[in-house]
Amino acid sequence: MDIGPLDLLVVQPTPFCNLDCRYCYLPDRQRTDHMTGPTLDAVFRWVFASGLARTPFTVVWHAGEPLVLRPEFYEEAFATAARHNRDAIPLVHSYQTNATLVDRAWCDFLKAQPVELGVSVDGPAFLHDRHRVTRHGKGTHDRVVGGIRRLRDAGISFHVITVLTRDTLDYPDELYDFYVSEGIECVGFNVEEIEGPHRESSLSGAEIGPRFRRFLARFLDLAEGGPAAVWVRELDSMELAILSAGTDAPVRTHETTPFAIISVDWQGNLSTFSPELLGLQNDRYGSFVFGNVATDSLAAVAASPRLAAIHRDIAAGVERCRETCPYFRFCGGGAPVNKLCETGSFTATETLFCRLNRQALLDVVLHRMARPGAGATLPMPA
């Protein structure tokens, strides 16, 4: 089994989230437990002792809401990572936050640390508040925008991630206008997925494909030609995939490569492949926890028969995609978690996620690239 190198370390310092978004896939987001100092130390000791950290990688603090823990926790975490990183391998710390807890202390910390920051916001209030709500069902838009403005006023760079639902598809102009009005220059789109306890997606249905394509085409036109330029992650990544498709480079994704992504929960339990698998249970495969950073070496985890069986099925699914899907060269075989949650098996092929976030996206980007006068897209703002 070819493993690594590590590209993405996803650390879940607490399962708790202060919001209760209607499409959330996290099963334990009401638990208030959090990672202790000894577990934090074990995480980075394991990572750097494993030999997987051979090239630059990113540490993503994610799931539930990482800013529930105060800056002092992350000061310790960053120092712990640096202490174990004896070879000075370049790494970047990154957060994905709902921004509702951003205050002066957080702004001071984020300005002092070289971190990447993503904010989850679904656009104007009439879209955002349909899904991003409190446990009492109240909208959170005002609180999120308040956090965004505090970040912006403090001069802290960030990008946003917006979850696209059926509701969003009729409002590309309104979404663009919201980003421009709030000074947002970098955007990523996640489609509402079927994952974990979220068993249905509003984007299911035969009529969604054409609507999704129209939405993307209009939004990308605005992002490129509107009053203010907006960098779009999906456009950038798909153009790179198109350019590399003409080379002999092997088609391989991090989500299907063992230990290219490592996910660790607040207890030190670790998983690999799609980060969303950590914490899920499945009738066929059981748990996706393959070990614990405090007790199990990489060699012990990699020797797990259950890991080997899961990897065989993931690889079989990728091969089926290679044999049957004309989009394979631009995708690499899909995300294992989507296959599992939509079909019950890693050996499946097409999913809702790939029909929209790969096939529809590719169709729109190719059409744009074929237009007369089409030029290079904008680089991501510094």
- Kindly give, in sequence order, each residue whose CB lies less than 8 Å from that of residue 332, ignoring residues fewer than 6 positions away: 251, 252, 253, 256, 318
| Domains of the chain with bracketed CATH | 8-244 (3.20.20.70)
CA distances from 112 to 57, 105, 149 (A): 21, 11, 18
Amino acid type, 352: L
- Kindly give, in sequence order, each residue whose CB lies less than 8 Å from that of residue 16, ignoring residues fewer than 6 positions away: 29, 30, 31, 32, 33, 34, 64, 65, 68
pLDDT in tens, 1-44: 788 899 999 999 999 999 999 998 888 888 889 999 999 999 99
pLDDT of residue 248: 58
Query: What count of other Cβ atoms lies within 10 Å of the Cβ of residue 337?
Result: 25
Give the percent of the chain with pLDDT over 90. Answer: 81
Query: What count of other Cβ atoms lies within 10 Å of the Cβ of residue 237?
Result: 15
pLDDT in tens, 75-111: 999 999 999 999 999 999 999 999 999 999 999 999 9
| Model confidence at 375: pLDDT above 60 | no
The pTM score is 0.93
| Model confidence at 251: pLDDT above 70 | no
- Kindly give, in sequence order, each residue whose CB lies less than 8 Å from that of residue 113, ignoring residues fewer than 6 positions away: 74, 78, 93
| Model confidence at 131: pLDDT above 80 | yes
pLDDT in tens, 300-341: 999 999 999 999 999 999 999 999 999 998 888 989 999 999
Cβ(57)–Cβ(262) below 8 Å: no
Mean pLDDT of the chain: 93
pLDDT of residue 246: 67
| Sequence-separated contacts (24+) of 358-363 with Cβ below 8 Å | 358/327, 358/330, 358/331, 358/334, 359/327, 360/209, 360/212, 360/213, 360/216, 361/216, 361/234, 361/238, 362/238, 362/241, 362/242, 362/327, 362/330, 363/213
At 374, the pLDDT band (50, 70, 90 cuts) reads low
pLDDT of residue 202: 94
Query: What count of other Cβ atoms lies within 10 Å of the Cβ of residue 368?
Result: 18
